[in-house]
Amino acid sequence: MKNIRLILLMVTVPTLLPAQNLQQKIFNFWEHVLNDSPANDTVWAETSAGMEEYMLLFPNSKKEDELLLDLAEIYGRLNRPVKQWNSLLKLLLLHGNSAHAPLARSLLDSINNYNTSKVLDIRHVAALNQALEKPPETDYRHAFINYLNLLVNLDIPSVNRLAVNECRLYLRLFIDDSEDTALILFWKGLFEERSGQTNRAKLSFKLLQKLFPEADVVANSYYQMALLSRDDPATARNYLVELINQFPEHPLSARAQYLFAEIYYNNGALDEALNNFRLILDAFPNSPLCPEALIKISAIYEEKENYEKARRALKQAMLYNVSDKTLKKILKQRIALEKSKSGDPETLVETRLEYVSRFYNDPEAPGQLLAAARESLENLGDREKALQLLKRLIDNYPAGKEARQAMEMEKKINNGQ
């Protein structure tokens, strides 16, 4: 079988036969092998390899949709669900109007729902279904870009290595379109990075930077290079500096500055980290990373035992319109700060109560309320406030273990213990 494949590949070099006639002859050969040969893994494996070679020789052929469906059938027989899934998805997105598309969709849904070695997890399903519900793209190049873009967004570990080859195929077909070439080179590097091919990813990003220095995706390539170089802080910083200097208005510049500061912080260079986190506030005042920078600034000041500046940084962070997740982080850091040896007991109680007010249904809210009651009694000597907080806890969270602890504590206070 391998010898047959090699002979067929050699036949493609001379121009003795018209290309279209040659395409059809090779296609018919593999269809014959698939349909008429003994059904065993060896034949299927060799047939799939021959069909893959055909697709490399004749991309976007008239038979590509049929070939993709055949490959999906073979991969199913060989128990290769990832390749089977990818072949079906490619058929649907590149040949959405094909007569084979309904069967491909049915098979794809079956893989997603019933295959024991699932390609997708639940978070991917909605994005995939949304993409497949769109009207089919009739322009092959645009359809190919949509297909690769979906693979980028899904970020399926088992598919990323296959996606590298799909990027190579696209570049072979459409290398002359410089704007798309820059984007596909970046995606290729991203897929290589995600599939653990670090050195190849770096080379793809460097090639992109060399060929298309002004392309918008170059900024992202510098950022990815910095992430890949985290074990070498000096090199990572160089890539981040390139990003910030070349693309000061790019949205990633603020993130690059944050990562730049974080590298210093993780290496114990607190003064350099502090200056670079502050630079985010000055250079990118509207960035959503400003609250995160202030959280890090507070942590640095706390390490330096400058607790007042640590408090001010956290209070400043709360002035931003932050997500609930970030707000919880800020409040928890304020609570931890006030619990330290330099903390203010009254501020600690008020911060706990602020947490409860903002996150009434949070699982930690009853514990924060119980702690506030205990600290009001023990640290502030405020018996009345402690009883009020215990009653609030019992009334609002009656089913929790904290409510039972609150009733015991309330009883002891009333008994003068």
pLDDT tens string 280-318 = 999 899 999 999 999 999 999 999 999 999 999 999 999
pLDDT at 120 over 90: no
Neighbours of 227 (CB within 10 A): 12
pLDDT at 40: 87
User: In the prediction, which pLDDT does 39 show?
Assistant: 79
Considering only residues 121 and 307, tell me which one the structure prediction assigns the higher pLDDT: 307
> Residue 59 in contact with residue 173, Cβ under 8 Å?
yes
Q: Which residues of 354-383 are buried (b: 16+ CB within 10 A; e: fewer)?
A: bbbeebeeeeebbbbbbbbbbbbbeeeebe
Q: Is residue 4 over pLDDT 90?
A: no
Average pLDDT over residues 36-51: 87
Q: Is the pLDDT of residue 16 over 50?
A: no
Q: What is the spatial distance between Cα 385 and Cα 346, in angstroms, rounded to a whole number?
A: 12
**pLDDT (0 to 100) of residue 340:** 80
pLDDT band of 342, cuts 50, 70, 90: low
Tokens of 374: 């205990």
Inform me whether the pLDDT recorded for 130 exceeds 80: yes
- Measure the CA–CA gap between 44 and 78, rounded to whole angstroms: 7
* Inter-residue contact 171 to 178 (CB < 8 Å): no
Q: 341: pLDDT confidence band, cut at 50, 70 and 90? A: low
User: Using one digit for the tens of pLDDT, what is the confidence trace for 55-88?
Assistant: 888 888 889 999 999 999 999 999 999 999 999 9
Tell whether the model's pLDDT for residue 371 goes beyond 70: yes
Q: Which of 129-143, 331-345, 367-381 has the lowest mean pLDDT?
A: 331-345
Q: 26: pLDDT confidence band, cut at 50, 70 and 90?
A: confident
Using CA atoms, how far residue 238 sits from 68, 226, 229, in Å, is 44, 8, 10
Higher pLDDT among residues 31 and 186, named by residue: 186
| The pLDDT of residue 14 is above 50 | no
Mean pLDDT of 152-157: 92
Does residue 5 register a pLDDT over 80?
no
Rounded-to-integer distance, Cα 21 and Cα 18, Å: 5
* pLDDT of amino acid 417: 62
The secondary structure of 266-299 as a DSSP string is: HTT-HHHHHHHHHHHHHH-TT-TTHHHHHHHHHH
What's this model's pTM, rounded to 2 decimal places?
0.76
What pLDDT does 339 receive? 87
Residue 178's pLDDT band (boundaries 50, 70, 90)? low
First-last CA distance in the chain: 90
pLDDT for residue 11 = 43
Q: What mean pLDDT is reported for the chain?
A: 89
Asked whether the predicted pLDDT for residue 10 surpasses 60, the reply is no
Mean pLDDT of 252-266: 91
Residue 211 is predicted with a pLDDT of: 92
